[in-house]
Amino acid sequence: MIKFYNTLHNKKEEFYEREKGLVKMYTCGPTVYNFAHIGNFRTYVFEDLLRRYLKYKGYKVIQVMNITDVEDKTIREAKKAGLSLEAYTKKYEKFFFEDLDILGIERAEYYPRATEHIDQMVVIIKKLREQGFTYESEGSIYFDISKFEKYGKLSNIEINETKSGLRYDTDEYEKEDVRDFVLWKAKKGDEPSWNTELGVGRPGWHIECSAMSMHYLGESFDIHTGGVDNMFPHHENEIAQSECCTGKKFVNFWLHSAHLTLKEGKMSKSIGNILNVRQILEKGFSKEALRYFLLSAHYKSPLAYSEEALEAAEKAVTHVNYFRDFIDDFKVGSENKKIAAHIQEGKKGFEDNFDDDLNSAGALGVLFIFIRNINKELSNSSMNAQNKTEILNFLQSVNRVLGVLRENKKDLLDKDIEELIHKREEARKNKDFSLSDTIRNDLLSKGIELEDRKDGTRWIRKK
Ligand code: AMP
Ligand code: ZN
């Protein structure tokens, strides 16, 4: 049984899905006006853990992550750079996907761009207008929060009577300022705009996520996530406009991750205290260490960035990888009856922790105890081939969720060998026999023997 802390009810609740065996989830994605910073990636790694663990438990997952390519900041920065909105945002979108791959974040099923879903947004705004939830001012359309009784339930805010009727045109604002929000903004100056039934203009940020989530997942779905800063006003507004449009409950489980912090507070582009994935790699840390660091604390606990913390993560990742290699290289002997029990205990501990609101910190603790126990066992006794396979399988299954094991050194070697053989073939074609011989001898010194046959070069490992 999995439990998640559901922000909607401020407590841990047993997870249930709407359609048996299928989880539909929406994860608020990047605003592509700059490199995503590692604070953003803390949230994306948490969402990746959530996705991977649901799959580990046998669910099929349909995940949507939007790409916010039109809102105040993308428009402002594109203009500054003298580029079209599309050219500017596509550049950062590309970096975003590269960073996802660096961090081993599994791809979601859909990455819709806001600019490609304007029609769906217009339909929702029209429905809201027909039902009397909106009002207009100078060509812009606003959502009247006093019309939605449940407004503020997610983030536990009170609607202050004196503020009703006040409204916000900007996409983001503070919790103290509870106001009506903009659904459709009338065209201003040379801003990008769309000519629609609502007039010429562009959508507000909040309507984008309602439109894209419901388009791909339906009017009601299972899980919606984001960083804690998304709770108000963004998610509060998403609930208001979606539920008023459909008359149905929008989402059953809302999960919010805590921030990655620096000494100056939350890591954020507006404060300017940001570090991106590439900057961390340039400091010499491995991508696995960065991923490990980001998932090393429970997602609801704040996580403080420091180089010392990354160094500790690097050590931990190396420890797990050394252990895998040690087991891989272990010369097997007789059966070790205790190993199966350690695996069982490790598996239970790992699942108990993840079932309990994705307690990744607890699960890592279990993994290290498991490693210690097996190391102890093997320091004065042996194990057979089956024991070895079972340990490696357990590590692989844990890694399907954690994603912190490096490529197996043997796999890496295989790839390297193929590459060198290819290089040697090229050298022979170019009649560069000295290079070809050097490659053959190098490989031989590493225990790899080549055999040239009519159908190509074969290789065997001699040790
Ligand atoms: P943005 O690109 O600003 O819309 O943010 C993308 C995601 O990153 C959202 O889910 C935010 O809540 C989340 N986020 C932003 N800053 C941080 C931070 N310092 N730590 C963790 N998550 C963050
Ligand atoms: Zn969103």
State the CATH number of the domain containing residue 169.
3.40.50.620
Residues 311 and 234 in one domain: no
Full residue range of the structural domain in which residue 301 is found: 266-406
Same domain, 233 and 281: no
Domain's final residue, options 257, 277, 301: 257
Query: How far, in Å, is the centroid of ligand 1 from the Cα of 47?
Result: 12
* Contacts for 342 with CB less than 8 Å, ≥ 6 apart: 370, 373, 374, 377
pLDDT at 161: 52
Same domain as 70, residue 194? yes
| Single-letter amino acid, residue 127 | K
d(CA 242, CA 238): 6
Ligand 2 centroid, distance to 234 Cα (angstroms): 7
Query: Which protein residue's CA is at the shortest distance from atom 23 of ligand 1?
Result: 40
Which ligand lies nearest the alpha carbon of 71?
1
232 and 175 share one domain: yes
Structure tokens at 144: 């009247």
Could you tell me which residues are beta bridge partners of residue 200? 195
CATH at residue 283: 1.10.730.10
- Interval between CA 207 and ligand 1 midpoint (Å): 18
Residue nearest to atom 11 of ligand 1 (CA): 227
Amino acid at 290: L
| Residues 87 and 217 both lie in one domain | yes
CA distances from 105 to 29, 95, 222, 286 (A): 13, 14, 21, 15
CA of 172, nearest ligand number: 1
Pair (246, 317) in one structural domain: no
Do 437 and 343 fall into the same domain? no
Closest ligand relative to 210 C-alpha: 2
pLDDT of residue 87: 97
- Does residue 109 contact residue 63 with C-beta atoms inside 8 Å? yes
For residue 411, the model assigns a pLDDT of 62
Task: Say if residue 434 is exposed, middle or buried (CB neighbours under 10 Å; 0-12, 13-18, 19+).
Answer: exposed
Same domain as 68, residue 148: yes
69 C-alpha to ligand 1 centroid (Å): 15
Q: So what's the pLDDT on residue 263?
A: 76
pLDDT at 175: 54
**297 and 377 in contact (C-beta within 8 Å)?**
no
Q: Given 387, 406, 425, which residue is the final one in a domain?
A: 406
From ligand 1's centre to the CA of 26, what distance in Å?
15
| Residue 283 sits in the same domain as residue 327 | yes
Concatenate the DSSP letters of all residues of 87-127 into one string: HHHHHHHHHHHHHHHHTTPPPPSB--BGGG-HHHHHHHHHH
Q: Are residues 340 and 387 in the same domain?
A: yes
Given a contact cutoff of 8 angstroms between Cβ atoms, the answer to whether 64 and 213 are in contact is yes
Of all protein residues, the one whose alpha carbon is nearest to atom 12 of ligand 1 is 227
Q: Which atom of ligand 1 is nearest to the CA of 29?
A: 6
Ligand 1, atom nearest to 36 Cα: 2
Query: What phi-psi label fits residue 259: left (phi over 0), alpha (psi between -120 and 50 degrees) or beta?
Result: beta
Same domain membership, residue 73 and residue 215? yes
pLDDT of residue 162: 44
Last residue within a domain, chosen from 257, 290, 324: 257
Asked if residue 147 lies in contact with residue 2, where contact means CB atoms within 8 angstroms, the answer is no
Contact 57, 82 (CB under 8 A): no
Q: How far apart are alpha carbons 59 and 47 in whole angstroms?
A: 15
pLDDT tens string for the chain (463 positions)? 999 999 999 999 999 999 999 999 999 999 999 999 999 999 999 999 999 999 999 999 999 999 999 999 999 999 999 999 999 999 999 999 999 999 999 999 999 999 999 999 999 999 999 999 999 999 999 999 999 999 999 998 877 654 556 777 777 666 556 789 999 999 999 999 999 999 999 999 999 999 999 999 999 999 999 999 999 999 999 999 999 999 999 999 999 999 999 877 888 877 778 899 999 999 999 999 999 999 999 999 999 999 999 999 999 999 999 999 999 999 999 999 999 999 999 999 999 999 999 999 999 999 999 999 999 999 989 999 999 999 999 999 999 999 999 877 666 577 788 888 989 999 999 999 988 988 888 888 777 888 888 888 888 876 4
Pure H helices in 305-461:
307-329, 337-355, 360-380, 385-402, 409-429, 433-445
Residue 303 Cα: closest atom of ligand 1: 20
- Say whether both 346 and 307 belong to one domain: yes
Closest residue (by CA) to atom 15 of ligand 1? 40
Element (H, E) at 281: helix 277-282
* Total domains, the chain: 3
Q: From the CA of 179, how far away is ligand 1's center (Å)?
A: 22
Residue of 44, 229, 261 to test ligand 1 pocket, by largest number of atoms within 8 Å of CB: 229
DSSP per residue, 168-181: E-SS---TT---EE
Q: Is residue 192 a contact partner of residue 200, using CB atoms and an 8 Å limit?
A: no
Ligand 1 binding site (Cβ under 6 Å of any ligand atom): 28, 30-31, 39-40, 42-43, 226-227, 229-230, 257, 259-260, 266-268
